Structure 1
Amino acid sequence: MQLMPTNPLRETALEIAEVAQSSGWDLPPRLYALVRTASLIADEPALARELGVGPDDADDSFTAVEQDELPGERSFEDFVAEIVWPPQVDGTAVVLERLMLPPEVEESLPEDESVVDFAAEHPDRQEVRLTVAVTRDGQAHCIVEARGNDELAEGPDLVPGLVSMLRQTLVE
């Protein structure tokens, strides 16, 4: 197993994934605004205190600010397509659960709405939790955790579609 180099975005993504892990499975998506900790302390001292962030934390780390619960009647993809983060937000992250199928199944996927049912009923399906974080300056970090397996797969481009979707929310 290759170890990933540490950086502030990776550390933040790992912290978010750890919180999700401790919350269990079968949860709705969670969306976060990522703000440079030093900026948060300078610009929003009351919020920083509420989040337990103090002057000793003012390095180039990010503070993840969880957003209110997402609307349950819409898909995450539809919801996130309408988000545009203000300039004070340096990045965004999401945690969501999905079904993954092995690559060899891709050719047999139906091309209509029944793909969801197909995936849910496929014997080789795997439930995964995705934690994806991106920044305005183009960094990305993805973490994939399979249900029933404590090992995490991580890297900058493991979930390219979700990375691209989140990056669009940061375009001014």
Structure 2
Amino acid sequence: MTADLHAEVILSRCVREVAEFVDAEGWGNPPQMFALVPTADLVAAEPSLIDQLDEGNELTPIAQESFPEDVTGGSMALDEFLATTTWPDAVQGCVLVQEIVVLPPDAESTLDDALAPLLADHDAADAAARAAAEAHPERREARLFAAVLRAGTSLALLQVRPEDDADEFGDLDLRTYPNLAPNVIDALHHTFESDPLD
């Protein structure tokens, strides 16, 4: 197995573990960040955790503290917050989970109509786009999992919320699409730079 493929497998396992954790919490939660830390380092630092960790996984996701109220409350954009975030050397990657709204491809004209008069005002255009997405009759709720490793590997997956409540705790259906969440992935990569504002 090549080094690149090995990194992809490690990152996929971490995202799957995070997805299972957040899925058990149900829907309607704020964004959450997970640090990916070498499992061997965790066991060395806290031997009592050995029974709770899968030593077969090289990295273990560690849930971080909730985002500040100004991020979850909306006065600061998530990308602005990430621009001020850095990780210590021990953290080898991270996973960001956020609930989003997905629309069918033909919904673009609805968004264009809502945004056209507001393009000069970024905040107003963003608010209008969100309102139009929320009001769209074919909107679906989803979770976006965006993950990166310090070495450069990245992965973005989408979990669409089942329409039938009975399916909410069924098997996880994680999907990827071409060019899914490139700006989020880029923002996460910047959190591993020595100075994310450079």
Scaled to the shorter chain, the TM-score interval is: 0.7 to 0.9
Q: For residues 139 and 88 of structure 2, what CA distance do their matches in structure 1 show?
A: 38
Which residue in 2 is equivalent to 1:35? 37
Is the contact between residue 9 and residue 61 of structure 1 (CA under 8 Å) also seen in structure 2? no
Which residue in 1 is equivalent to 2:151? 137
Which residue in 2 is equivalent to 1:169? 191
Which is richer in strand?
1
Given the two structures, how large is their TM-score scaled by the length of structure 1? Answer: 0.82
Which residue in 2 is equivalent to 1:69? 66
Provide the secondary structure at the position in 1 that maps to 2:97.
strand
Is the contact between residue 92 and residue 135 of structure 1 (CA under 8 Å) also seen in structure 2? yes
Which of 88, 109, 116 is matched with 2:130 structurally?
116
Instruction: Please give the per-residue CA displacement for 1:30-60, whole angstroms capped at 9, x wherever unaligned.
Output: 1111112123334xx12x6358556x81x56
Given the two structures, how large is their TM-score scaled by the length of structure 2? Answer: 0.72
Amino acid at match of 1:134: V
What is the percentage of aligned positions where both structures have the same residue?
30
Unaligned runs of 5+ in 1: none
Instruction: Please give the per-residue CA displacement for 1:38-90, whole angstroms capped at 9, x wherever unaligned.
Output: 23334xx12x6358556x81x56211111111113224323222101121111
Matches within 5 A, 1:91-130: 91-109=93-111, 110=115, 111=119, 112=125, 113-130=127-144
Q: For residues 60 and 151 of structure 1, what CA distance do their matches in structure 2 show?
A: 21
Distance 1:139 1:133, change over 3 A: same
Aligned residue pairs, count: 163
Amino acid at match of 2:183: G
Unaligned runs of 5+ in 2: 72-76, 120-124, 164-171
Which of 8, 11, 18 is matched with 2:10 structurally?
8
Which is richer in helix?
2
Q: Structure 1 runs of 4+ off > 4 angstroms?
A: 50-54
Amino acid at match of 1:171: E
Structure 1 or 2, whichever has the larger Rg, is 2
Distance 1:49 1:140, change over 3 A: farther
